[in-house]
Amino acid sequence: MELDKGITGLILHEKPAGVLLSLKSSKGKYASILAKETNCTYTHILKVLNQLQDFGVVTFKKQGRTKVVELTDKGMDIAHELEGLVRQLEKSYEEKPREIPQ
């Protein structure tokens, strides 16, 4: 199975995952804010957002001259599951016994 194809490959990358988690905790954000929060360029974030929109995960809403990015219901479900996965992975990492160097 090749993960780099389709929505699975998109969401399992750091930047798109960061976008989803950031949008989950808000009513919508500007693309420029998402770019700053995920530490990537505005151009790259627009590419990611357009891909997420193609998959029906985010939507753009016009507010005057600007666009606000919001999660769709499908996007909210994915973000919720992703948040749970991240929490589970962090928990298992914290529980992992660490070897003490000798």
**What is the structure's pLDDT at 89?**
78
Backbone angles phi, psi at 58, to 5 degrees: -125, 165
Domain assignment present for residue 50? The answer is yes
What ranges in 25-96 are assigned the alpha helix state H? 31-37, 42-54, 73-95
Domain assignment present for residue 1? The answer is no
> Residue 2: pLDDT above 50?
no
The CB density around residue 19, as the number of other CB atoms within 10 Å, is 29
Domain assignment present for residue 31? The answer is yes
- Apex 16 CA angle, 13 and 10, nearest 5: 55
Domain assignment present for residue 102? The answer is no
Ramachandran bin of 40, using left for φ above 0, alpha for ψ from -120 to 50, beta for the remaining angles: beta
**What is the structure's pLDDT at 9?**
58
Are 60 and 67 contacting, i.e. CB atoms less than 8 angstroms apart? yes
Domain assignment present for residue 99? The answer is no
Instruction: Report residue 90's pLDDT band, with 50, 70 and 90 as the boundaries.
Output: confident
d(CA 44, CA 14): 13
Domain assignment present for residue 19? The answer is yes
**What is the structure's pLDDT at 1?**
40
- The mean pLDDT of 65-81, rounded to a whole number, is 95
Domains contained in the chain, number? 1
- Residue ranges making up the domain that contains 64: 6-90
> Residue 34: pLDDT above 90?
yes
CATH of the domain at 43: 1.10.10.10
> Residue 3: pLDDT above 60?
no
Domain assignment present for residue 41? The answer is yes
Domain assignment present for residue 101? The answer is no
